[in-house]
């Protein structure tokens, strides 16, 4: 069996506060394999970015990993020191953030930033690094890369900037790329370009990609598998087609239903009542139970439901049966 690029096992992140300990990431486990795009989807506050930050060691204090393992190509990385992490970040793990303007240094040219990253992580001369930087820009589809390498970030458009960020993430040939809402700040037509680019690079280079987004449509088109998060936990994990067409967790079902796309032709959109609970006030039992149509006694009182893993796909006492679902509608 292929070794996963990234393997997260029962990861728990806690933030101690005056009012008690919050758990923005609770018992999350998943693997990402080479050449695979794993979509992480959820609403704001679900813990999707926090999981990404925990993986790359960018948790802001006082947030910390209290238990669980993060393995990168089989090696544990959750207990590395800050200086050890610096060697991995950029080299083994590339990062793409939401806003391309704030993730580039405005005072350095695009070329300087690429060359700096390449020299830091690969044993090459400055001249070769320069050539590699141009090749990296060409690969992400920036026209006239040789001329534009001396440009500053503000001279690029939003879409082009995000391409630069992708080039930066990939220039040291990482095994894993964490893309946190990479297209949220972009227009639809540019978003389509960036998604196509990510898919192509992932396929060609065999990089594993963690694609964090709130957009179900992007997940459907880009991801191979998807993990749905709710209030810090995995609600559901599976192949993207299975999860989106036959969701087992009532939250996924509600989330799918409330996208205007899925309610096409209906007078009213389906809605999930209420909103995601605050981390400081999580309900007992299943965190989704107060909003769930299918909730029963055990959901409200019983200890936590199953944790989603490869075998049990949904973290729910009563996973939806799809034959039943269709007939009840």
Which residues sit at the interface with other proteins, rule CB under 8 A? Answer: 43-44, 157-160, 187-193, 195-196, 214-218, 220-221, 240-241, 244-245, 254-256, 258-264, 267-273, 275-276
Neighbours of 76 (CB within 10 A): 12
Closer CB to other proteins, 187 or 204, in the complex: 187
Strand order in the sheet with 225-230: 93-96, 176-180, 208-213, 37-41, 225-230, 233-239
CB of 5 to other proteins, least distance (A): 20
Q: Rounded to whole angstroms, what are the CA distances from 75 to 1, 70, 170, 189?
A: 17, 8, 21, 39
CB of 107 to other proteins, least distance (A): 23
Closer CB to other proteins, 84 or 155, in the complex: 155
CB 62 within 8 A of CB 16: yes
* Cα 178 from Cα 200, distance rounded (Å): 16
CB of 295 to other proteins, least distance (A): 16
CB of 286 to other proteins, least distance (A): 16
Closer CB to other proteins, 118 or 255, in the complex: 255
User: If 0-12 CB within 10 Å is exposed, 13-18 middle and 19+ buried, where does residue 230 land?
Assistant: buried
Closer CB to other proteins, 39 or 319, in the complex: 39
Cis amide prior to 62 (ω within 30 degrees): yes
CB of 222 to other proteins, least distance (A): 8
Closer CB to other proteins, 66 or 325, in the complex: 325
């Amino acid at each position: 069996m292929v070794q996963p690029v990234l393997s997260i096992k029962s990861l728990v992140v806690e933030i101690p506060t005056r009012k008690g300990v919050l758990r923005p990431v609770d018992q999350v486990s998943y693997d990402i394999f080479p050449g695979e795009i794993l979509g992480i989807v959820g609403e704001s506050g679900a813990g999707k970015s926090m999981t990404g930050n925990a993986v790359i060691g960018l948790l802001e204090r006082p947030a910390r990993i209290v238990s669980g393992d993060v393995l990168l190509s089989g090696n544990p990385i959750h207990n590395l020191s800050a200086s050890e992490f610096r060697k991995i970040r950029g080299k083994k793990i590339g990062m793409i953030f939401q806003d391309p303007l704030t993730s580039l240094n405005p005072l350095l040219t695009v070329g300087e930033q690429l060359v700096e990253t390449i020299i830091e992580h690969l044993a090459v001369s400055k001249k070769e690094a320069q050539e590699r930087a141009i090749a990296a820009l060409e690969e992400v589809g920036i026209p006239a890369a040789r001329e534009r390498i001396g440009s500053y970030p503000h001279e690029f458009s939003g879409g082009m900037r995000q391409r630069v960020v992708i080039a930066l993430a990939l220039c040291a040939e990482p095994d894993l790329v964490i893309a946190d809402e990479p297209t949220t700040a972009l227009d639809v037509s540019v978003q389509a370009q960036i998604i196509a680019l990510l898919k192509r690079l992932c396929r060609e280079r065999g990089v594993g990609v963690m694609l964090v987004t709130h957009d179900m449509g992007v997940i459907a088109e880009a991801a191979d598998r998807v993990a749905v998060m709710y209030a810090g936990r995995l609600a559901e994990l599976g192949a993207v087609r299975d999860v989106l067409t036959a969701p087992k967790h009532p939250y996924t079902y509600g989330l799918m239903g409330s996208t205007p796309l899925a309610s096409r032709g209906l007078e009213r959109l389906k809605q999930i009542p209420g909103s995601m609970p605050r981390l400081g006030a999580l309900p007992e039992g299943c965190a989704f139970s107060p909003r769930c149509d299918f909730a029963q006694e055990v959901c409200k009182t019983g200890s936590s439901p199953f944790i989603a893993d490869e075998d049990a796909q949904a973290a729910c006492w009563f996973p939806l049966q799809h034959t039943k679902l269709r007939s009840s509608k």
